[in-house]
Chain A
Amino acid sequence: MEWGRLMSGTVLCLLISRIFLVIYRFSLRSERPLRRDTDTCSLAIFLGSGGHTAEASILLSALDFSRYCPRTYIFSEGDELSSRRVVALENAQSAKNTPLIGWSNYKLMRIPRARYVHQSSLSASFTTFKCFLACVHLITIAPLFHNVTLGKPFVDLLIMNGPGTCVPLCAAIMINRIIGLPTPKMVFVESFARVQSISQSGKLLLYIVDRFIVQWPEQIALTGDRGEYHGWLV
């Protein structure tokens, strides 16, 4: 009897969550609050290893740093190359412009790696879970204590370009959406290196992110009706 109640209770919860999710997503789609030119917008960008960070840096350099601030750079523990690259990018941007509020307004945030190169699937599931927990802390728990108004997500916009560790991050954001907590807009830019195929993380995140951008026209067909092509972004 106990199990019966537990099962039906679980199914009911899942159903309610599902309905809530669908409604919430629908309302989110049409919601695009207008910003004034002088409003700022906080962003986080996820940096993966090597090439991903190089492309992410290029993407970010396209943005107005006085508008998009504060900036949070999220990367995996042990990825020192990325952290150096970030500092170099920020220094280059502020050297280019008269320092204003918004310039050099950034922070670095490390999360545990979801998986290591050549890691076995079994141990990868453990590290991925550990990474997921860290993401939940970052996205769900920490903002509850840090933000004065409960209505703000940890950042307004999250930009990703494909490394594996961004999947647990998005999973944590989806939890927020199911619960009904505020979440950032998620923009996924498939790597310039992906010409004829979509990356693993791209496939997983295709129906979760708000905008899915590809950089080669051949890829549009692979993304159903979700992908957009605007030419090379890097």
Chain B
Amino acid sequence: MLVFVTVGSTRFDALVQAAVSEQVLDALHKKGYKRIVIQRGNSDFRREAGSNGEDLVVFEKNGLEVETWKFKSSVQSEVERADLVVSHAGAGTILDALRQGKPMIVVPNPTLLDDHQGELSSRLEALGYLTASTVDNLAATISAFDPSRLIPFPPFDGSRFRRLIDQEMGYNVNPS
């Protein structure tokens, strides 16, 4: 089983460090995960041995194969192949993963301006679409995580925006 960790286009040192920590990897291992892929963006990442600041780093730890890199033009395939997505609470990432039907644990980044990431993750958790966690709580959240209790996320409905714009621009929006 594969877990994909992503921070989008941001920097989230704490999440990246937690993702390679003993506690989190151990919790994942106990749940049956064999591989973890971490898209770390601009986050600081230091490995004890052999870290020259290179982009791609691969190693084994706590029974998991760990792979991490900074960016890819599209993380579509990583999300597709993942059995669990752990991500920063960015709207784009959340919409992407939830619409692909992936169980999600979302970690708001408290260092970002005015904590609006926290608003979204709390609300979506309250609605049952995902589970939110803090960085410190991540291992415990993973251990307690039950994807079967999550509610499927509604599919994209483009008709609302289309109608709104058509109406504003003077097109006939009434069914003929």
Contact = CB atoms under 8 A, between A and B. Distances in A.
A211 B91 contact: no
A35 B123 CA distance: 39
A233 B161 contact: yes
Interface string A211-222: 101001000000
B168 A187 contact: yes
B119 interface: yes
Interface centre among B9, B74, B122 (most CB of A within 10 A): B9
Contact of B92 (A34, A54, A88, A233): A54
Given A193-B119, A233-B160, A35 B169 contact: yes
Interface in A181-234: 185, 187, 189, 191-197, 199, 210-211, 213, 216, 230-234
A88 B161 CA distance: 21
A171 interface: no
Contacts, number: 110
A62 B157 CA distance: 8
Contacts of B143: none
A181 B157 CA distance: 36
Interface in B136-176: 154, 156-162, 164-165, 168-172
A157 B90 contact: no
Chain B interface size, as a band, is: 20 to 34
B9 A35 contact: no
B116 A197 contact: yes
B119 A63 contact: no
Given A55-B91, A58-B156, A192-B120, A211 B161 contact: no
A34 B160 contact: no
A41 B10 CA distance: 35
Interface in A109-154: none
A115 to B, nearest CB: 12
A-B interface, 10 closest residue pairs, ranked by CB to CB distance from nearest: A54-B92, A62-B158, A50-B9, A193-B91, A195-B119, A62-B161, A233-B161, A35-B170, A51-B92, A193-B120
A2 interface: no
A34 B157 contact: no
Contacts of A213: 164
Contacts of A159: 165
A58 B95 contact: yes
15 contacts: A32-B168, A32-B170, A34-B170, A34-B172, A41-B169, A49-B9, A51-B8, A51-B91, A51-B92, A63-B162, A68-B165, A88-B74, A189-B161, A193-B116, A210-B168
The interface centre, meaning the residue of B10, B154, B170 with most chain A CB atoms within 10 A of its CB, is: B170
B77 to A, nearest CB: 14
A199 B120 CA distance: 13
Contacts of B164: 187, 211, 213, 230, 233
B154 to A, nearest CB: 8
B60 interface: no
Contact of B165 (A55, A157, A231): A157
